[in-house]
Structure 1
Amino acid sequence: MSYEMIALLMFSSLMLMLMTGQRVFGAVGAVASLAAILLWGTGGSDIPYASVMKLMKWYPLLTLPMFIFMGYVLSESKIADDLYRMFHVWMGSINGGLAIGTIGLMVLVSAMNGLSVAGMAIGATIALPELLRRGYDKRMVTGVVQAGSSLGILVPPSVVLVLYAMIARQPVGQLWLAGIMPGLLMAAMFIAYIAIRCALQPDLGPALKKEERQVPLTEKLRLLRAGLLPIVIFAVMMVPFVSGWTSLVESSAIGAMAAFFAAVLKRRMTRTVFENSVRQTLAISCMFMWIILAALGFGAVFDGLGAVKAIDSLFTEQLGLNPWIVLILMQLSFLIMGTFLDDTAMLVIVAPLYVPLVTVLGFDLVWYGVLYTITTQIAYMTPPFGYNLFLMRAMAPPEIELKDIYASILPFVCIMALALALVMAFPQLSLWLPETVYGQ
C-alpha cells in the first residue's frame, strides 16, 4: 500500500471514530498508535514515548494550568459575572453586545497568556456558559470563543513568535510589535461581523429588554469598577513581564495568585470555590495534555511516512513562478499541514527551508512571521483536524455537537483569511509599528 493511501486511511478512520462519539484523545491516539505498530512493528512504540517527552519538555506549557486556574477562580467566585453584567448594562441596547464584549475580553486574555489553548480554556470556562445562559445562539457563541482565542498567538507576548524569532534569528521585540496591529485588526473585524450579523438576525444575540436596561447611574459605575477588576489583574501580571522582571511562566503564576487574592478580598473565596477551581483546573489541564499528546503522536506518524516532506516539496520547489505565487503556495502548505500538525511542529519542520526561501524571494522575515502565525491559526480552526475544534468539542456542553462547532467557525475563518490577505497586500500593517519604534 502506498504512503498516500495509508495517510488517506488514517484520516478516514479518524473521522469515522469521531463521528461515532469517541473521546477526541482516544480516537486520535488510537489511530496513531495502531498505524505506528502496523507500519513499524514494536519499534512504533517509540512514537508515544517520544511524544510524551516532547510534551514534558515544553516549558511554556506550564502556563496552561495557571491560566485555567485563573479563569476558574474568576468564574467560580462570580467575578466573571460582574464583568458580563457590566457588558450587559453598558452595551445592553446593542444586539450581540455580550459577544462583542467577549472579543474584547479575549484580546486581554490573549495578551495575558500568549497561547491559543490557554485562551480557549479561559474563553470556554468564562464566556461560553454566560453567553448560552443569556439566550445567544450556540453556533454563534461557539465561533466567537474559538475566534477570540485565535488572537493568543498573535497579540504579544506570543510564545509562537518567540520560537519563530529563535529559528529565523529575528528580534523578538520587533515580532511582538508587528503582531499588535494585525491582531487588533482581526479583533475589529470579528466585532464588526458580530454587530452586523446580530443587527440583521437579532435572535442570534438578543439585546436586553428595555426595563432590564434601566439601571441607576450609581449601579452602572459600581459594575464598571467591578468589571475592570480583570484588567487590574492583567496589569499586575503583565507589568513585571514587560519590564523583564519575570518570565512568561512566572507571570502566569502571578496572574493566578492575583485572581486568587482578588476573590479573597471580595470575600468570595470559599472552600467550595477553591476546591471546584482546583478540581476543574486539574481535569481541564489533563484533558489538554492528553489531546496534545495524541495529536503529537498522530503528527509523528505522518512525519515518519514522509507525508509532511511531500507537501513541503510540492509547495516550495522553485517552479519559475512569481515570488508572490510561491509565497501563497507556502501559506497553503501551512493550511494543509495544520490539519494534522501543531504550529510548533510545522515551524520546526519547514522553517529550515522556508526562512531562507523567504529571504531569497526578497520578503521581510518579520512580516513573514506575522503571516505564519495568522495562517497557522486559520489551520487550527479548519476541519477536519483542527486543534481548536477538538478542544472546543471536549469542553463544550452536550447540546453543542461537533457539526455545530464546524459550522460555527466557517464565518470567522473567512474573516481571518481576509485579514491575512490584507496583511499580505499591505505589509505596513505589521511593519509600521516596529519600524517606528525601533527606527527611533
Structure 2
Amino acid sequence: MSYEMIAITMFASMMVLLLTGQRVFAAIGFVASIMVLFLYGPGGIEIPFSAAFKLFNWFPMLTLPLFIYMGYVLSESGIAEDLYKMLHVWFGRIGGGLAIGTIFLMVIISAMNGLSVAGMAIGATIALPEMLRRGYDKVLITGVVQGGSSLGILVPPSVVMVLYGMIARQPVSQLWLAGVIPGLLMATMFVIYVVVRARLNPSLAPVVSDEELNMPPREKLKLLRAGIIPFLIFFAMTGLFVKGITSLVESSAVGATAATLAAIIKRRFTLKMMHETARKTLGVSCMFLWLILAALAFGAVFDGIGAVRAIENLFINRWELTPWQVIIMMQLSFIVMGMFLDDTAMLVIVAPLYIPLVKLLDLGIDNQLIWFGVLYTMTCQIAYITPPFGYNLFLMRAMAPGDITLPDIYRSIWPFVLMMAVTIALVMIFPQIALWLPETMRSY
C-alpha cells in the first residue's frame, strides 16, 4: 500500500468512526493505535506512547485547567452578571445601546475566560431576556450574542490558541498578541453594524426608558466598580506575561488566584459555587487533555509514514495549486468540519496534516505559523455559527428564551458571518494586522 493510500485510509477510518457517534478522542486514538500496529508491528506502539509522554512532560499544559477555572469562577460568582448591569445603565440611552453593551460584555467575558461557551451562556441567559423585555428585535440581538460570544476563542487569553501553540510548538504569547487587533477589528465591525441598523430602523433597538435609567450620578459611578475587577484581572495576567515578568503558567496562576480573591471580596465564595466551578473545570480540562493526547498519537504515526510530503506532492506538484490556493482550501475545510465538530476537535484532526504543510509553503510571510494560527481561529468562529449544523447555533437554541426559534437563530447570523469573512480576508491580504503587535512587543 502506498503512503498516499495509508494517509487516506487513516483519515477515512477516523471520519467513519466519528459518524458512528464515537467520542472524538477515542476515534482518533483508536485509528492511530491500529495503524501503528499494522505498519510497524507490536514494537510500533512506542510511537504514540512516546508522543503522549512528551505532552505529560510539557510544563505549559498546567495553564489549561487554570484558565478554565478562572473563567468559571468569574461566571459562577456572578461577576459577569454585574458587568451587564453596569453596561445596561451606561449604554441604555443610546439607540441600540444594550446591544452595543452586550458586544462589549462579550469581549470582556472573552478576555476573562477564553472560551466561546462561557460568553454564549452569559449572553443567552442574562443579556437576551433583558433586551427582549425592552423591545429589542429578537433576530438582531440573537445575532449579537452569537457573534460576540465567538470572540472568546480569538481575544486573549484564548484557550484554543494555547492548544494551537502546544500542537504547532509556537509561543503562546505571540499567538495571543496576534489575535488582539483582529479581535478588536471584528468587535468594531459588530458595533458599527448595530449602530447603523438602529439608526435606519429605531424600532429594532429602542432606547431604555428614563424611569429605568434615572439614578443619582453617585449610583452610576458605583456601578462602574463592576468593570474594575475583570479589567484588573485581565491586565494583571496578560500584562505580567507580555512584559516577561511571569511565565505562561505563572500568568495563568495569577489569573486563577485573582478570580478566587475577587469572589471572596464580593462575598460570593460559597461551597456550592466552588463545587460547580470544580466540576465544570475538571470536565472541560479532561476533554481537552484526551483530545490532545489522541492528536499527538495520530500525528506521530501520520508524520512517520511521510504522509505530509505525499500530500504536499499532491497539492503542489500534481494539482499545481499555488500556496495561496492551498491556504484557501484549508480555510474552506475548517468551515465544513466546523458544521459538525468543535474547534478543538477540528484542530486535533487536521493539525498533523496542515501545520507541517504550512511550514513548507512559501507565502513570503514572517512568523507564518503565528499568522496561520490566527486564520484558523477566525475560521473556527465562522464554522461555529454557520447553518445548518454550526456548534453555537444549537447551544443558543438550548439556552435562549423559548420565543426565539431555530429559524430566528439561522436568520440572525448571516450579517455576522459576512463581517467575520471580511475580517479574515483583510488578515490574509494584510498579514501585518495580526503580526504587527507581536513583532512590536518582541522588540521591548
Shared fold (TM-score greater than 0.5)? yes
CA distance in 1 between counterparts of 2:194 and 2:297 reads: 37
Say whether the 8 Å CA contact 1:67–1:256 is kept in structure 2: yes
Cα deviation for residue 298 of structure 1 reads 8.4
CA contact (8 A) 1:87 1:101 kept: yes
Deviation of 1:33 after TM superposition, in Å, equals 7.0
Which of 418, 423, 439 is the equivalent residue of 2:427? 423
Contact 1:178–1:434 (Cα < 8 Å) also in 2: yes
1:272 corresponding residue in structure 2: 272
- Contact 2:378/2:424, CA 8 A, preserved across alignment: no
Q: Per-residue displacement from partner, 1:168-210 (whole Å, max 9, x unpaired)?
A: xxx9877765554333222212332344456667787675344
Aligned AA (1:370): W
For 1:357, give the aligned amino acid: L
Amino acid in structure 2 at the alignment position of 1:278: A
| TM-score of the aligned structures, taking structure 2 as reference length | 0.70
8 Å contact from structure 1 (residues 10, 31) kept in 2: yes
Cα distance, 1:255–1:107 mapped onto 2, change above 3 Å? same
Asked if structure 2 preserves the Cα contact closer than 8 Å seen for 1:178 and 1:431, the reply is yes
Matches within 5 A, 1:51-70: 56=56, 59-70=59-70
| C-alpha distance in structure 2 between counterparts of 1:396 and 1:53, whole Å | 40
The 2-side partners of 1:357 and 1:287 are apart by 32
Q: Equivalent residue for 2:212?
A: 212
> Any unmatched runs of 5+ in structure 1?
18-25
Q: Deviations over 1:282-340 (max 9, x none)?
A: 3443455566667778889998999877765444448777xxx5324323224426737
Q: Does 1:147 align with 2:150?
A: yes
Residues 425-440 of structure 1 aligned to structure 2 (within 5 Å): 425-430=429-434
* 1:235-250 → structure 2 map (5 Å cutoff): 235-250=235-250
Contact 1:186 1:419 in 2 (8 A): yes
Note if contact 1:389-1:405 (Cα within 8 Å) is conserved in structure 2: no
SS state of the match for residue 246, structure 1? Answer: coil
Provide closer, same or farther for how the CA distance between residues 285 and 186 of structure 1 changes in structure 2, counting only shifts above 3 A: same
* Cα distance in 2, alignment partners of residues 94 and 216 from structure 1: 19
Q: Does 1:120 align with 2:122?
A: no
Identity of aligned residues (%): 42
- Which stretch of structure 1 is more off in the superposition, 222-231 or 428-437? 428-437
Counterpart contact for 2:47–2:301, Cα < 8 Å: yes
Q: How many residues align?
A: 418
Q: Please report the RMSD computed on the Cα atoms of aligned residues, expressed in angstroms.
A: 5.1
Please tell me whether residue 331 in structure 1 is matched to residue 332 in structure 2.
Answer: no
Provide closer, same or farther for how the CA distance between residues 375 and 262 of structure 1 changes in structure 2, counting only shifts above 3 A: closer
Deviations 1:65-106 (A, max 9, x none): 323332332233322221110111011234554443344344
Give the stretch that moved more between structures: 376-385 or 126-135.
376-385
Task: State the partner residue of 2:75.
Answer: 75
Other-structure match for 1:130 = 126
Query: Against the structure 1 CA distance between its residues 95 and 162, is the aligned structure 2 distance closer, same or farther, given a 3 Å change threshold?
Result: same
Tell me the distance in 2 between the aligned counterparts of 1:158 and 1:27.
22
Q: Distance in 2 between matches of 1:313 and 1:166?
A: 24
Change (3 A) 1:215 1:375: same
Stretch moving more, 66-75 or 408-417: 408-417
8 Å CA contact 2:315, 2:326 repeated in 1 = yes
Alpha-carbon deviation of 1:415? 2.0
Normalised by the length of structure 1, the TM-score is 0.71
Matched ranges for 1:217-232 at <5 A: 217-232=217-232
Deviation at 1:241, TM superposition (A): 1.8
More displaced 10-residue stretch of structure 1: 227-236 or 179-188: 179-188
1:382 alignment partner, SS class: helix
What's the offset of the Cα at 1:6?
8.6
Q: Deviations over 1:226-267 (max 9, x none)?
A: 222211122232333233222222212211211211222222
Give, in whole Å, the separation in 1 of the partners of 2:176 and 2:27.
37
Separation in 2, partners of 1:84, 1:10 = 43
1:183 maps to: 183
Change (3 A) 1:31 1:123: same
Residues 411-437 of structure 1, C-alpha deviations (whole Å, 9 max, x = no match): 434322211222333345345556767
SS, match of residue 245 in structure 1: coil
Q: Match for residue 135 of structure 2?
A: none
Please name the residue that 1:373 is paired with.
374
Deviation of 1:223 after TM superposition, in Å, equals 0.3
Partner Cα separation in structure 1 for residue 160 and residue 295 of structure 2: 25
Moved more, 140-149 or 396-405: 396-405
Counterpart amino acid of residue 133 in structure 1: P
Alignment of 1:392-407 (within 5 A): 397=398
